[in-house]
Amino acid sequence: MGIPNFVQLTWPTFLKGKEVVIANAIIAILTIGGQQLFSFFTFSCPCHVGQNLIYGLAFLGVPALILLVVGYALNNQTWRLVTGKRSPLQAEGTQNQLLQCKLTCFVLCSITGRALVAPVTWLAVTLINGSYYVCAMSEYVSVYYYGANPNITASDRKKILAAFPCSQLVPPELSRARDEVILLLRYQSQVAGWLLIAVVVITVFLSYCLASCFSPLSFLHFRYWTSYVHNEQELFDEATDQHSKLYAIQHIRKFFGFVPGSENVGEIRIPSLREWQAISGLAFLKLVDEEHYDYSLLHDWAFDGLHPDCLIALLQKG
């Protein structure tokens, strides 16, 4: 039995515009899976005074920080915001500058929100799991949860408490005290994890509300804008790939005398030793004039007799 037509039309329509939500969900799921594998294969509390806190906090914070940086780096909007320059065609004016400032803030918040998905998920999952927090905070538990001789020194007490995450290091008479301490720390860690999730959810909801309130666009206009930007980017990527390929074909044809894939190759060109040396080496951007760059050494070699304005004419001949 085939799928009804209205179902086939509904799913793409439903998923359209929700790419960000789906991507965030996938990132969160991958982060959860990675955290579980990371904990299983690498985490082993040292159970030593002074080392537990550093070890536990390192496993809590360093992966989250790395995920945050990676989240910023993998977002194309980050590099567009960093490397983008103000268009010379953009009209001056206070109203236009205010609109530009609002859109910049909106994009920056959007980038930050996307970048925070993985690190917040990491922190929430690790806190709910509790192992890292138990390792980090075991030696700082109040003495009231320590059911042994109260006359021992503070340093000995810290050594015993620091060994609590490692059950094999705890004397049998302190097993009950250890269980109570572990339960207390897991309780604190899981409460902190759920509080973090609640704060993030409320913050995201309020951020969307504030962004909608202060947006210069109406709801339907905003949907149209996001759809337009998405479609424009897809078409631009396709055109960029095709244009760069056609432009490179011209340089290849000039160097070898033919283009790969040509069926009838009448003659080929034999590059000279100097020409081979000219296109070999590291390729860097070279500023030709105020408006153009050479993108590679081959481009630099071919540019002497080929200007970008000749692109259409040469393509028509080819």
Number of neighbours of residue 23 by Cβ within 10 angstroms: 12
The values of phi and psi at residue 307, to 5°, are -100, 145
CA neighbor of 25 nearest in space, from 115, 118, 112, 111: 118
User: What pLDDT score was predicted for residue 307?
Assistant: 44
CA neighbor of 250 nearest in space, from 208, 175, 305, 173: 305
CA angle centred on 303, ends 298 and 308, rounded to 5°: 115
User: What pLDDT score was predicted for residue 33?
Assistant: 86
Where helices occur in the chain by DSSP H, the ranges are: 5-15, 19-42, 51-73, 76-83, 94-129, 131-137, 154-162, 175-214, 219-256, 273-279, 297-303, 311-317
Please write down the long-range contacts of 161-169, taking CB distance under 8 Å and 24 or more positions apart. Answer: 162/47, 162/48, 162/49, 162/51, 162/52, 162/138, 163/47, 163/48, 164/47, 164/134, 164/138, 165/45, 165/47, 165/52, 165/131, 165/134, 165/135, 165/138, 166/45, 166/47, 169/47
User: What pLDDT score was predicted for residue 310?
Assistant: 46
CB burial class (10 A; 0-12, 13-18, 19+) of residue 272?
Answer: exposed
* DSSP code for 261: T
Write out the H or E segment, with its range, that includes residue 287: strand 286-287
Number of neighbours of residue 127 by Cβ within 10 angstroms: 23
Per-residue confidence in pLDDT tens, the chain, 318 aa = 455 554 444 555 555 556 667 777 888 888 888 888 877 777 888 888 889 999 999 989 999 999 999 999 988 888 888 876 555 545 555 566 777 777 778 788 888 888 999 999 999 999 999 999 999 998 888 765 555 555 677 788 888 888 888 888 888 888 888 888 899 999 999 999 999 999 999 998 998 888 788 777 888 998 898 889 889 989 999 999 999 999 999 999 899 988 888 778 878 889 999 889 888 887 777 777 777 788 888 888 887 644 444 444 444 444
Q: Buried b vs exposed e over 37-61: b needs ≥16 C-beta within 10 Å?
A: eebeeebebbbebeebbebbeebbe
CB contact at 8 A, 280 and 287 = no
CA neighbor of 164 nearest in space, from 178, 154, 184: 178
User: What pLDDT score was predicted for residue 69?
Assistant: 93
Length of the chain (residues): 318
CA neighbor of 186 nearest in space, from 141, 120, 144, 143: 141
> Quick one: tokens of 297?
């050494």
* DSSP code for 92: P
> Quick one: tokens of 149?
């001789």
User: What pLDDT score was predicted for residue 146?
Assistant: 53
